[in-house]
């Protein structure tokens, strides 16, 4: 009995320690369907934006090319799978699994309000559209 209690105590202390160390960097991508549950207003504006349709810009084998998927999908993994077609919430706000689970008062600290830089994908001096068109001609 004592042993069980001791183990339980170690477990509880261990998980408190882990909870303290949690940061958004440990979070996983959930996909827009989850964000939508609590953020319908933002979902609606996003749904009608070009970012919701970036995957549809790809043709043929481009839908399997990681060099295209990294900006035209969200949550791309090394094995080529991804969470959302298109540039969804977490492409700008970062992975949201811990934010979703967190208590209300901890939510803000587990999501990025000011987005991860637009310049990760956009460069005003590069037309990706022209690059894609030229690549397709070859
Ligand atoms: C269970 C409900 C819930 C889910 C699911 C959820 N959120 Fe939130 N989110 C909230 C609440 C509540 C707040 C407001 C927190 C506050 O004001 O303290 C919030 C705030 C935010 C903010 C603003 C943070 C700030 O500093 O003002 C962003 C950005 C955000 N959420 C993005 C997301 C994204 C992206 C997803 C999907 C991965 C998501 N949320 C999923 C409930 C949720
Ligand atoms: C670094 C991020 C990034 C990568 C990588 C990327 N794109 Fe894009 N793509 C963008 C951005 C941002 C735009 C919109 C602005 C522009 O045209 O420059 C865009 C626009 C496009 C458009 C025009 C869409 C429209 O509706 O007019 C096409 C087509 C396209 N990309 C195809 C591709 C293909 C094919 C690849 C892979 C060879 C690729 N992109 C790789 C970010 C990227
Ligand atoms: C292209 C990047 C981008 C995408 C995609 C995006 N957001 Fe945002 N989001 C922003 C910016 C920029 C702000 C404003 C930040 C500020 O003013 O501090 C913002 C603000 C927010 C806020 C704070 C409240 C508000 O409305 O200002 C919430 C909540 C939020 N986004 C949720 C979402 C959800 C949910 C999705 C997906 C359905 C999403 N965002 C998709 C860039 C993005
Ligand atoms: C993960 C990559 C990514 C991020 C981050 C991103 N974008 Fe985009 N954005 C794209 C792609 C790809 C397109 C092309 C959509 C299309 O035309 O099919 C696009 C399209 C746009 C368009 C429409 C352009 C047009 O020609 O009509 C605007 C405006 C825009 N983005 C603004 C922003 C802003 C502002 C931010 C930062 C808050 C941002 N984007 C962050 C990938 C991204």
The 10s digit of each residue's pLDDT in 42-86 is 999 999 999 999 999 999 999 999 999 999 999 999 999 999 999
User: Which among 36, 107, 115 is the best mutation to test ligand 1's pocket, defined by most ligand atoms within 8 Å of the CB?
Assistant: 107
Nearest C-alpha to atom 41 of ligand 3 is from which residue? 89
Protein residues with CB under 6 Å of any ligand 3 atom:
32, 35, 39, 42-43, 46, 51, 87-89, 91-93, 113-115
Long-range contacts of 91-97, Cβ-Cβ distance < 8 Å, separation of 24 or more: 91/51, 91/116, 91/121, 92/116, 92/118, 94/24, 94/27, 95/24, 95/27, 95/28, 95/29, 95/30, 96/27, 96/29, 96/30, 96/34, 96/35, 97/27, 97/28, 97/29, 97/30
More confident residue, 90 or 9: 90
Q: Say which residue the tokens 């919430």 belong to.
A: 89
For ligand 1, the distance from its centroid to the CA atom of residue 127, given in whole angstroms, is 33
State residue 4's pLDDT score.
55
- Residues 85-109 have a mean pLDDT of 97
Q: Is 121 in the pocket of ligand 4 (CB under 6 A)?
A: yes
* Residue 22 structure tokens: 């949690």
Give the number of whichever ligand sits closest to the CA of residue 129: 2
């Amino acid at each position: 009995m004592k042993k069980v209690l001791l183990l339980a105590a170690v477990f509880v202390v261990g998980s408190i320690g882990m909870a303290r160390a949690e940061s958004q960097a440990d979070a996983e991508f959930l996909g827009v369907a989850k964000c939508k549950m609590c953020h319908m207003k933002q979902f609606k504006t996003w749904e009608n934006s070009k970012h919701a349709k970036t995957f549809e810009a790809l043709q043929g084998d481009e839908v399997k090319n990681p060099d295209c998927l990294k900006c035209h999908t969200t949550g791309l993994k090394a094995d080529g799978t991804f969470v959302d077609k298109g540039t969804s919430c977490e492409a700008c706000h970062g992975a949201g699994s811990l934010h979703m689970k967190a208590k209300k008062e901890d939510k803000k600290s587990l999501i990025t309000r000011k987005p991860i830089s637009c310049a990760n994908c956009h460069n005003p001096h590069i037309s990706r559209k022209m690059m894609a068109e030229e690549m397709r001609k070859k």
